[in-house]
Structure 1
Amino acid sequence: MQKTLPLSLICLSLLSACTVPLQTPWRYSVPEQPEAASGRTDKSGWAYSRQAVAAANPLATDAGHQILRAGGSALDAAVAVQLVLGLVEPQSSGIGGGAFLLHFDGQKITAHDGRETAPAGAKGDMFVGDNGKPLPFDEAVLSGHAVGVPGALRMLEAAHRQHGALPWAKLLEPAITLAEQGFKVSPRLHTLLQADPHLRKDPLALRFFYNAQGQAWPVGHVLRNPEYAHVLRRMAAEGSRALHEGAVAQAIVQRTQSAPRPGSLSLQDLANYQPRVREALCFDHTAQSRAYRICGFPPPSSGQIAMGQILGLLAHTSAQGAEFAGGLPAPDWLHRYTEASRLAFADRAQYLADPDFVSAPAGDWRSLLALDYLRERSQLIGAQSMKIATPGQPAGVKTSWAPMPQQTEYGTSHISVVDAQGRAVAMTTTIEAAFGSRRMVTTDPSRAGGFLLNNELTDFSFAPADAQGRPIANRVEPGKRPRSSMSPTLVFDKATGQLLMSGGSPGGALIIHYTAKLLVGTMHWGLNAQQAINLPNFGSLNGPTLLEEKRFPISTVDALKTRGHEVREMEMTSGLQAIERTPQGWFGGADPRREGVVLGD
């Protein structure tokens, strides 16, 4: 179903904070919550002069906006947004999961790694069945082995110590208030709850998300989560210790150890978790005679390297026809893009993993982005599809790693914030699959609700080695972070260093293509952020050419097939959020495929 919501309605009716002046002292006020449209909702974008917040749910966006108006920093707003998302969008992220956060303070970029880790007792073959073959994906997800040590909250706490302006406890007020007073179930949450085949199997989740007949609470139902509020109140007073130690930690361990194929997650694992501060990975890119500096997350994320390779490979190929015609990517360009994607994803499968466990080719991840290497690899892009690419040898380095077989990836949510002081955040956050491991945590069964645990360890290779015994870089090891596709991105003008955009998307491995689409649309095709987000989705994971169903003409499909592509049309439900600089200030875009909005001043 399609429905256009006027910006005035979104601002004045959906989010009352659009017209609320700064309150001193600040107290969170709950906005109105009318029922939004389900399915695709056309959006025209939002223009602001000073600051803006983009997130996947209007209540979360509003919480971040109120924090900015109260004098909070971009990081403060991101914390408030994330904690509300964990309540109102529990299928995608939460305190039981992890996140990658890029922060720009006006001069320096910092990459905060809150990715989950494998427990100390994790085994390399824990996703291998008794028959010696990798477990079916759903069986692995529902096992105790799937749950990694949560990292999002401890990372946010550490980032707040560096970049926060308001007290930590203040940032939790919106989520606590909404958890206690209740929020209206959105169309997307209702749809996913109703369709999920596994969440009802968990008694705690069944009692909270479904009625007595096992049906998902209807759209508009006011859902309260007193257990989540209780945990957040403890976190307001104690910080991340409230999650990583004591009663909450004990409940997390109990839930993983009581699962099918019990996990080894321990109290010591939770207490010992430490986020990492990494150096952002940046590369230069020229489009329409303008030089950009594109910064993203280094490994264990694979997103920035894959996007850099795709854009770099395209720069070395010659267009045989139009890139962008009739408001759509042209067939010739789609051919070259998906061929470049195959090459990038082949390298991703071969090399990318947690840098604390796996060395970069030639000792530097930038070897995968070297101009000479990409120029050499680009020669493999011809008139016909290669169908499946093989990995290259950056800097001539030979490796003993085996390529990781393709596995299912899901999940996530994205947050972008810019504040009036010139600080910015791009954060992608996840519990992996929809509703994670489908295991809810509560410290007191008499209180309804709680939070869901991740299934992030299914991002590791289920098989630790190939048939010849060669190890896979992204295999399970104790304390290791699984490879990710999350791609929080900050774009700068190379000449001046001025921030131009913050963006990113959920979507499993397709995050890479969704975010690359945003970059190509804005930098190469002259679109604004919303127009670029609205474009149909496309890509390849080093297999079939994937096109968003019902969005491309049959002539495009036929042209790709003529070039040897196996075309697969499918749902590609991105959740892009982006905020870009304009001469007047900032312009924000949110994906029409989901419920996100942008708010600012």
Structure 2
Amino acid sequence: MPVRPHALVIPFLLAGLSGCTHPDGPPNQTPPSQTPPAPEASSGYTPKPGWATERFAVAAANPLATEAGYQILKAGGSALDAAVAVQMVLTLVEPQSSGIGGGAFLLHWDGETVSALDGRETAPAAANENLFIKADGKPMEFQEAVVGGRSVGVPGTVKMLEQAHRQYGRLPWRELLQPAIRLAEEGFEISPRLHGLLKADPSLRGNPPAAAFYYQPDGSPWPVGHRLRNPALGAVLKNIADNGSDAFYRGANAQALVRQVTEHHNAGAMTLSDLEVYKPRQRDPLCNLWQKRYQVCGFPPPSSGHITQMQILGILDQLSPLPALDQGVPSAEFLHRYTEAARLAYADRAKYLADPDFVPVPGRTWNSMLAPKYLKQRAELIGPRSMGTAKPGDPGEMPIAFASQPTQPEYGTSHISIVDANGNALAMTTTIEQAFGSRLLNDGGTGLPGGYLLNNELTDFAFEPRDAQGRPVANRVEPNKRPRSSMSPTLVFDASGEQLLASVGSPGGAAIIHFTAKTLLGMYGWGLDAQRAIELPNFGSFNGPTVLEAERFPPATVEALKARGHEVNETEMTSGLQAIQRTGSGWFGGADPRREGVVMGD
């Protein structure tokens, strides 16, 4: 249900913990993790100025999508109206990251209450925990599982946005889809980023409709600036505009979607019934006091983003004061503390966080994992040298002894932040999972060129459902279950919860948590504006090596971490952060220089 942020008194506030028992023995140790691969390849670094506005602002991952949201706001639309327009355009112009073939988490503020709408994909009713286990009993390789129908979850974005529009929309639904329909029919110029990702992708050419649409006859992608028309997507969106979500979940589109999933050689088990019965969920957002000054609101499970992010920030608070930046970048002392806190938080994430409709909650409340006493216990495990790999803690009584999920790849998303002229705001993170999803391009049954890509969201479930002792992994595949996510749409308020201060979020797979936490630290720990906070170099740990954005940290910092026992991995960390923060005269928006996003507003 919607809640006022200040009404959730869970600010690292719980004074005590429930009994911490594990009936089946001690906690399972998380296996050593490797650094996850970058969710999407890098496409360069383009400095951006940041954008000041007075009345409203929209930040999205592609200028055409931002423009669509801006025009809706100019026409008197709400933040939610603008988000619908942005998402539909992103389906067209940023097909690798999100779209109507995937899912989304929406965090919405109407000036009084925060609402959390869950449009996450679900496993088909016929799926089971051995979905990714081969005949020899071993799990599939990740890419083997991704490509084809096996990985496709029941999409949730369209139905969730329709439900949200009923609650928070001002303009007619049909009007919100017109920018995307117009661009699909008239075409858009392929951007450098889309061109580069099409060129690098090893699997999309294997899908004949996608190969014919995105590539030239010689197999090379259409060049930068090529005007790409998508008549199939235009027709699908027209039908949705006229007939609502039924046009997606029933009829020709649904039949074409199920046919693609079930007739692929790597087939899935989705049925027309799975699509017809899909329902978005309205969940209770989590709002936590941070630094005794800010209420930070985010999504509960099946997203792991908010809990893991706030565990890290809460543990850092136990180790205060926050070390200052060193020559404009995070210092070795800060990075040591942060990555040790991250190891502890990701160990808990691997064991406890999954769809709450299927797994028990530690201590009967997710906030047992954010209680001050528990975070203090975890912080006391941080010493002068790196622990390397952390074990999960005991945040509260559990009726089942779960195994920790081994590390596996998690991939891409897109993020939208919007504030409208009436004080409504949202943070929405949206996804089809890996770049280009399952590599299945669905024409919606239109028979026309183009269409939209289907997600590979089921690979966010654990491939190995149980450990060697037979203990289940909380995030294993089960019928109608929603896979665990790292998406972290975040709204920040003052301590009272009365005044919105910021909307923040990012794509980035498992690193979304780090990217968003970094931006919060930049804005509210180091006093930077949104653009400068986004530009800070990225860093983190997934309960394995310390990961630093390549060529962004001084050699002395790297050596200082190694001297503390850290295994340091310098690599690309391609965030796609968007942030809008309140200023004395209005709003200031930032967009990640690592991607193509921009901010617009008046």
TM-score by length of 1: 0.92
Match of 2:231 in 1: 226
Contact map agreement 2:254 2:444 (CA 8 A) in 1: no
Runs of 4+ aligned residues of structure 1 deviating over 6 Å after TM superposition are none
1:123 aligns with 2:124: no
SS in 1 for 2:205: helix
Matched, 1:317 2:319: yes
CA distance in 2 between counterparts of 1:314 and 1:259 reads 48
**TM-superposition CA deviations, 1:37-94 (whole Å, max 9, x none):** 9621101100000000000000000000000000100000000000000000000000
SS in 2 for 1:294: strand
The answer for the alignment partner of 1:152 in structure 2 is 157
Hey, what does 1:133 align to over in structure 2?
A: 138
CA–CA separation in structure 2 for the residues paired with 1:409 and 1:313: 25
Give the distance between the partners of 2:301 and 2:233, measured in 1 at CA: 32
Query: In the superposition, relative to structure 1, how do residues 306 and 376 fare at CA in structure 2: closer, same or farther (>3 Å)?
Result: same
- C-alpha change, 1:555 and 1:122, in structure 2 (3 Å) is same
How far off is 1:317 after superposition?
1.6
TM superposition shift of 1:143? 3.5
Give the distance between the partners of 2:314 and 2:201, measured in 1 at CA.
39
Tell me the amino acid that sits aligned with residue 392 of structure 2. P
The one of 101, 110, 116 equivalent to 2:106 is: 101
CA contact (8 A) 1:518 1:532 kept: yes
Alpha carbons 1:281, 1:298 under 8 Å: kept: yes
Residue range with higher mean Cα deviation, 474-483 or 252-261? 252-261
- Which structure is higher in RCO with an 8 Å CA cutoff and minimum separation 6? 2
Alignment of 1:123-522 (within 5 A): 123-286=128-291, 291-318=293-320, 322-395=323-396, 397=398, 399-444=400-445, 446-495=447-496, 497-522=498-523
What letter is aligned with 1:181?
E
CA gap 1:122/1:506 in 2 versus in 1, 3 angstroms = same
CA contact (8 A) 1:323 1:332 kept: no
Output the CA distance in 2 between the equivalents of 1:562 and 1:544: 14
Q: d(CA) in 2 for partners of 1:198 and 1:492?
A: 43
1:283 partner letter: N
Could you tell me which residue of structure 1 aligns to residue 63 of structure 2? Answer: 58
Q: 1:73 matched to which residue of 2? A: 78
CA distance in 2, matches of 1:443, 1:404: 36
Shift of 1:445: 6.6
Q: CA deviation at 1:495?
A: 2.9
Aligned-pair CA distance for 1:260:
2.5
* Structure-1 separation of matches of 2:430 and 2:511: 15
* Partner AA of 2:155 in structure 1: P
In structure 2, distance between residues paired with 1:353 and 1:536: 30
Does the 8 Å contact 2:148/2:440 carry over to 1?
A: no
Identity fraction in percent: 63
2:9 matched residue in structure 1: none
Partners of 1:449 and 1:64 in 2: CA distance: 23
Q: How large is the Cα RMSD of the aligned pairs? A: 1.2
Task: Decide which of 44, 48, 51 is 1:43's aligned counterpart.
Answer: 48
**TM-aligned CA deviation for residue 259 of structure 1:** 1.7
SS in 2 for 1:284: strand
Any stretches of 5+ residues in structure 2 without a counterpart?
1-41
**CA offsets, 1:177-230, max 9 Å, x none?**
000000000000000000000000000000100011111010000000000000
Q: 2:496, 2:476 → 1: CA distance?
A: 41
1 CA distance for matches of 2:358 and 2:251? 30
Shift of 1:131: 2.0
Cα distance in 2 for residues equivalent to 1:97 and 1:446: 21
User: For the structure 1 residues 396 and 443, does the alpha-carbon distance in structure 2 shift closer, same or farther, using more than 3 Å as the test?
Assistant: closer
Shift of 1:498: 0.2
**Alpha-carbon contact 1:88-1:183 (below 8 Å) kept:** yes
Q: Contact conserved, 1:102 with 1:112, CA < 8 A, in 2? A: yes
Deviations 1:236-281 (Å, cap 9, x if unpaired)?
1111111100000000001111222311000000000000001111
Q: Which amino acid aligns with 2:439?
A: R
SS at match of 2:211: helix
Q: State how far apart, in whole Å, the 1-side matches of 2:445 and 2:506 are.
A: 35
How far, CA to CA, are the matches of 2:286 and 2:359 in structure 1? 17
Is the partner of 2:59 in helix, strand or coil?
strand
What SS class does the counterpart of residue 52 from structure 2 fall into?
A: strand
Aligned to 1:91: 96
The structural deviation recorded for 1:496 is: 5.7
Give 1:130 shift.
Answer: 1.8
Runs of 5+ unmatched residues, structure 1: 1-36
**Is the Cα contact below 8 Å between 1:373 and 1:395 reproduced in 2?**
no
Q: Say whether 1:598 aligns with 2:592.
A: no
Between the aligned partners of 1:597 and 1:249, the Cα distance in structure 2 is: 34
Q: Distance in 1 between matches of 2:43 and 2:437?
A: 23
Q: 1:425-481 CA deviation, whole Å, 9 max, x = no partner?
A: 100000000000000101457411000000000000001100110000000000000
- CA distance in 1 between counterparts of 2:478 and 2:559 reads 45
Decide whether the 8 Å contact of 1:53 with 1:599 is kept in 2.
yes
TM superposition shift of 1:556: 0.5
Corresponding residue number in structure 2 for 1:531 = 532
Q: Distance in 2 between matches of 1:533 and 1:312?
A: 21
The CA distance in 2 between the partners of 1:143 and 1:210, in whole Å, is 19
Distance 2:344 2:397 in 1: 16
CA–CA separation in structure 1 for the residues paired with 2:273 and 2:76: 37
Maintained 8 Å contact 2:361/2:398: no
SS where residue 476 of structure 1 aligns?
Answer: coil
The 8 Å contact of residues 147 and 256 in structure 1, kept in 2 or not, is answered as yes
Q: Is the 8 A contact 2:295 2:497 kept in 1?
A: no
| Cα distance in 1, alignment partners of residues 177 and 569 from structure 2 | 43
Report the residue type matching 1:420 in the other structure.
Answer: A
Amino acid of the residue matched to residue 411 of structure 1?
G
- Cα distance, 1:318 vs. partner? 4.8
Taking the aligned partners of 1:217 and 1:328, their CA distance within structure 2 comes to: 39
Cα distance per residue 1:530-584 (max 9 Å; x no partner): 0000000000000000000010111010000000000000000000000000001
* Number of residue pairs aligned between Structure 1 and Structure 2: 561
Once residues 231 and 110 of structure 2 are traced to their aligned partners in structure 1, the CA distance between those partners, rounded to angstroms, is 36
Which residue does 1:540 correspond to in 2?
541
How far residue 132 of structure 1 moved from its aligned partner, in angstroms, is: 1.2
Between the aligned partners of 1:38 and 1:256, the Cα distance in structure 2 is: 31
Which residue of structure 2 lines up, in the alignment, with residue 556 of structure 1? Answer: 557
Contact 1:147 1:453 in 2 (8 A): yes
Deviation at residue 395 of structure 1 after TM alignment: 3.3
- Normalization by structure 2: what TM-score? 0.92
Q: Which amino acid is 1:315 matched to? A: D
The structural deviation recorded for 1:359 is: 1.3
